[in-house]
């Protein structure tokens, strides 16, 4: 299905100019966006996209995890879905979630309704849009294992329905039609016991709190796990646990997390990430691949 946006409708969302992105990222760093838009709903978003110049850079932010915005900011339009585009609907064992819905909220709602198979989503510190874009996973499961269909929108505001066969899906990697972004997805779960699924979510979250620095500003996992190994193990063996550059530090709790101790700049974090890659490559001959996307311009 293809739906074309109306361009004669006034924008209803919130548009800000030269807005600092630090408040919109989980690292709490980042320079200003030239324009930042928080859409009222999917139709409003489509109208905004249809007004953009073809060459204007475009960035989407959900909860702001898994992304590092440089101190010079982003020289284009940033669309923030946090608190917007967050509807979740259910029908039988199907769950439709918009791109701005927090993964943890999807997991909890499904569990309350006695739907099983989505508990792992509670361990993903982001929104469904981000989870779809990178095939995010936790505790041995991945987002696209549950996807039946998605809705996408392009920069002309055209909405399309697509299916898993339209994408090349791998570990922390999704590639498909260029120039389209995820608006929503339909997940297929299973019928089960609500209390058991809620208990499973609590156990997963307890495990996450025990092993990850959940109470400190970070971008989530910094690197993908290399085949047959763990990035955290290699970083720790390279002697980097607790290592600092400026206000950025390799977490003492989990070596694959970089935390902002309170006064970090994006430059501090990027320099530390580069240092971690170099040290692991020198020590073990393994080239760690970033999960974190680094965007924008230096200060």
Q: Hey, where are the domains in the chain?
A: 2-80, 88-211, 231-295
Q: Candidates 3.40.50.300, 2.70.98.20, 3.30.43.10, 3.30.70.2500; correct CATH number of 2-80?
A: 3.30.43.10
Annotated catalytic residue 112: no
Domains 2-80 and 231-295 share a fold: no
Using a cut of 0.75, tell me whether the model's pTM lies above it. Answer: yes
C-alpha 228 chain-centroid distance: 24
> Lowest mean pLDDT: which of 7-21, 53-67, 77-91, 135-149?
7-21
pLDDT given for residue 190 in this prediction:
95
Q: What is the pLDDT of residues 42-64, one digit of tens each?
A: 999 998 998 888 899 999 999 99
pLDDT given for residue 291 in this prediction:
93
Average pLDDT, the chain: 94
* Average pLDDT for 140-147: 95
Annotated catalytic residue 173: no
Kindly indicate the confidence band of residue 34, based on its pLDDT and cuts at 50, 70 and 90: very high
Kindly indicate the confidence band of residue 8, based on its pLDDT and cuts at 50, 70 and 90: low
Please, what CATH class does the domain formed by 88-211 belong to?
alpha beta
pLDDT given for residue 54 in this prediction:
87
pLDDT given for residue 4 in this prediction:
53
* Average pLDDT for 275-279: 98
Cα–Cα distance, 101 to 95 (Å, whole number): 12
Q: What is the pLDDT of residues 62-105, one digit of tens each?
A: 999 999 999 999 999 999 998 999 999 999 999 999 999 999 99
Residue 249 CB neighbour total at 10 angstroms: 24
pLDDT given for residue 145 in this prediction:
96
Which structure tokens are listed for 52? 């953009």
pLDDT given for residue 7 in this prediction:
55
pLDDT given for residue 251 in this prediction:
98
Annotated catalytic residue 149: no
Of the residues 26, 184, 221, 251, only one is catalytic, namely 221
pLDDT given for residue 10 in this prediction:
84
Answer yes or no: are the C-beta atoms of 234 and 277 closer than 8 Å: no
pLDDT given for residue 110 in this prediction:
96
Of the residues 16, 28, 172, 208, only one is catalytic, namely 172
Cα–Cα distance, 57 to 280 (Å, whole number): 33
**5: pLDDT strictly greater than 80:** no
CATH of domain 231-295: 3.90.78.10
* Average pLDDT for 16-24: 96
């Amino acid at each position: 299905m293809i739906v074309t946006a109306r361009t004669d409708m006034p924008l209803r969302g919130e548009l800000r100019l030269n807005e600092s992105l630090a408040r919109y990222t989980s690292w709490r760093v980042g320079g200003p966006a030239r324009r930042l838009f928080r859409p009222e709903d999917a139709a409003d978003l489509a109208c905004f996209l249809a007004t953009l110049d073809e060459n204007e850079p475009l960035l989407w932010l959900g909860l702001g995890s898994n992304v590092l915005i440089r101190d010079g900011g982003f020289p284009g339009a940033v669309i923030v879905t946090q608190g917007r585009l967050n509807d979740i609907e259910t029908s039988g064992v199907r769950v439709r979630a918009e791109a701005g819905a927090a993964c943890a909220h999807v997991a909890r709602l499904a569990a309350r309704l006695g739907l099983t198979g989505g508990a792992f989503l509670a361990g993903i510190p982001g929104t469904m849009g981000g989870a779809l874009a990178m095939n995010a996973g936790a505790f041995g499961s991945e987002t696209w294992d549950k996807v039946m269909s998605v809705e996408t929108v392009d920069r002309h505001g055209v909405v399309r329905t697509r299916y898993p066969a339209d994408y090349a899906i791998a570990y922390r990697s999704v590639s498909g039609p260029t120039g389209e972004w995820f608006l929503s997805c339909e997940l297929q779960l299973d019928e089960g016991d609500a209390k058991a699924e809620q208990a499973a979510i609590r156990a997963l979250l307890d495990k996450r709190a025990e092993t990850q620095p959940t109470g400190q500003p970070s971008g989530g996992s910094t690197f993908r796990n290399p085949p047959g190994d763990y990035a955290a193990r290699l970083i720790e063996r390279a002697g980097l646990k607790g290592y600092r550059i400026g206000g950025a530090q390799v977490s003492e709790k989990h070596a694959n997390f970089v935390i902002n101790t309170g006064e970090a700049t994006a430059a501090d974090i990027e320099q530390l990430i580069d240092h971690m890659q170099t040290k692991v490559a020198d020590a073990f001959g393994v080239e760690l691949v970033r999960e974190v996307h680094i965007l924008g311009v230096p200060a």
